[in-house]
Amino acid sequence: MWGLSAFLIFSFSRFPNISVMEKINAVITGVGGYVPDYILDNEEMSQFVDTSDEWIMERIGVKTRHILRPEQGSGVSYLMTRAVRQLLEKTQVDPASVEMVICATTTPDYHFPSTASIVIGNTGLTHAFGFDMEAACAGFLYAMEVAANYIRSGRYKRIIVCGGDHMSSMTNYQDRNTCPIFGDGAACVMMEATTEEVGLLDGYYRVEASYEHLHMAAGGSAKMPSHETVDAREHFVYQEGRPVFKHAVTKMADAVETIAKRNGLTKENITWVVPHQANVRIESAVARRIGVDEDHVMINIDHMANTSGGTLPLCLWEYEPQLKKGDKLIFTAFGAGFSWGASYMVWGYDGAAEAQKSPAQFYKEGEISREEWYRLRKGEKSE
């Protein structure tokens, strides 16, 4: 009895505006993002690998991708640091009030220390602890659920969840089947406690131990780096497109359908589907499966490519001006492992006003030339 009393007293003192009898939800209260300056388009890519703009657009749907070059910065921590700084600027949150940082990435700066610890140090989050999560392209989806449960426990009030990858660091630019797919970028969200019926309300997550079709063969403790592994180019992404495509469509669609049925969601009341940006044909197939029109599906693969752990939060970053409080979102992702799932979220704020504070800055062909993009970016302060 004393244990329960102590818990109730602790909860009330930590959240004085929240009744101990009220349910605590975890809601997104802000979004930040960052993509590197350099733009690699299909025309340039066709100069060093046997491919073409027509081939890439037909099979993948990618026109351009952002690439982090050494002269600008290094490591996924650079991308995430820029994203977190923008998030703090937009939300005007006291950095000392952030209690935790979770970084979903497959391309950490080092085996150790964690990318989260580097981001925490770079951004002055002096009272936060943090850690990395590695679930490939499903990483951010899983990380949101982990953060939400920390908040639901009543012990934490404010958590930053980052998702992103420096995919060019493990992309084989001699492999025409994989190199057009990937780009670099990161984004993050602030998740906070609320008693409103908004935020992350449900989730469905699964793993199937099947990795022969999608993996990096060497570099881990099972097959440590050696001259042989480097010569065999085993430190890059290996993917067999056909089986991965088939599994991704089936698993993501099944997960979305499960979440929709569990929560009474239909094509009439789903505001947005937020899918992992792996292939435009996969995104279209998932939307068709549940009957949602494509204009209610967040898509940015054409100018962002597949940033792995960054795809979902980068969609939120880009589409934030269109988000309204009460919008119903279904997130879904599929990655190596295989790992996949879906989650249901009710959006917690009107995004248009927040997005104006620090607009998402990305390159989109047809709206601005690459030369104009570079010229405008030169005015930014270097890190």
Neighbours of 218 (CB within 10 A): 18
Query: Which tokens hold the place of 243?
Result: 């089986």
Residues 6+ apart with CB under 8 A from 6: none
333, containing H or E segment = strand 328-335
32, containing H or E segment = strand 25-34
Q: Give the span between the Cα atoms of 158 and 239, in whole angstroms.
A: 37
User: One of 137, 162, 188, 315 is an active-site residue; which one?
Assistant: 137
| Alpha helices by DSSP H, the chain | 2-14, 42-45, 53-59, 76-91, 115-123, 139-152, 227-231, 241-262, 280-290, 301-304, 311-319, 351-357, 370-377
Query: Which tokens hold the place of 308?
Result: 């792995």
User: One of 276, 279, 300, 303 is an active-site residue; which one?
Assistant: 276
Q: Give the span between the Cα atoms of 371 and 358, in whole angstroms.
A: 22
User: One of 25, 279, 300, 306 is an active-site residue; which one?
Assistant: 306
Q: Let me know: does 232 contact 353? Beta carbons within 8 Å.
A: no
Beta strand pairing call for 38-41 and 64-67: antiparallel
Residue 31 Cα to chain centre, angstroms: 11
Q: Give the span between the Cα atoms of 296 and 267, in whole angstroms.
A: 9
Q: Is 188 a catalytic residue?
A: no
Q: Give the span between the Cα atoms of 63 and 383, in whole angstroms.
A: 28
Burial of 364 (0-12, 13-18, 19+ CB in 10 A): middle
Query: Which tokens hold the place of 28?
Result: 């997104």
Peptide bond just before 7 cis, omega within 30 deg:
no
Q: Is 306 a catalytic residue?
A: yes
Q: Is 137 a catalytic residue?
A: yes
Residue 174 Cα to chain centre, angstroms: 26
Q: Cα-flanking dihedrals φ and ψ of residue 213, to 5°?
A: -90, -15
Which residues are catalytic, by number? 137, 276, 306
